[in-house]
Amino acid sequence: MQMVKKSFIVLIVAWLGVLVLMPKQELYYKLEEELAKQDIKLNEAKISEGLFSLTLDQVNVYYKGINVATIEEVSLCSMLFYSSIELRSLQMDDSLKTIVPQITEKALLSHSILSPLNVSVDASGSFGSMAGNIDLSERTVRLDFNESKKIGMLKPQLKQDEKGWFYETSF
């Protein structure tokens, strides 16, 4: 029994050590490099590193050199078995307001090792609330709009079923 207890304590301490000592900023810079290959550039005002998280403040998103969005705060959190990205106050450029919702108050993308090929998406904003799933094995995205407030600009891209409006695509 003592051996099991000691092994368990060593595993917990090693896990916490990896989480605390993980090079969070370097991983973020690697993410920026990968996004740059798709002509997406991020410009943040401030980067704050926590024990388990990385927070970016005032992030401007550029696509092919054009500012398309501003995000007040991005929080990246990883526990190795569970990771999440939380966006607060995502404001799209005025030129895109006919295609996408202008303001997203909060968005959360989460990934768990229990379902490694699925990413769950939850968001709320000027369009109401939305929940969805990204299936990496099938390469599909499905977003269900629970409360459809101002989705007039999205309706040409949405489909309707018995549960309500949804968006579905493959990549």
Q: Is 3 left (phi over 0), alpha (psi -120 to 50) or beta?
A: alpha
What local confidence, expressed as pLDDT, does residue 164 receive? Answer: 84
pLDDT for res 118? 97
Calculate mean pLDDT across residues 95-116: 90
Which residue ranges make up each domain of the chain?
22-73, 79-93+103-171
For residue 88, name the pLDDT band (cuts at 50, 70, 90).
very high
- pLDDT number for residue 148: 67
Determine the pLDDT at residue 168: 93
Query: Band of the pLDDT at 11, cuts 50, 70, 90?
Result: very high
| pLDDT, position 137 | 95
* Encoded amino acid at 78, one letter: S
For residue range 22-60, list pLDDT tens digits in order: 899 999 999 999 999 999 999 999 999 998 999 999 999
pLDDT tens-digit series, residues 121-167: 999 998 889 999 999 999 999 999 887 677 777 788 888 888 888 99
pLDDT band at 116 (very low <50, low <70, confident <90, very high): very high
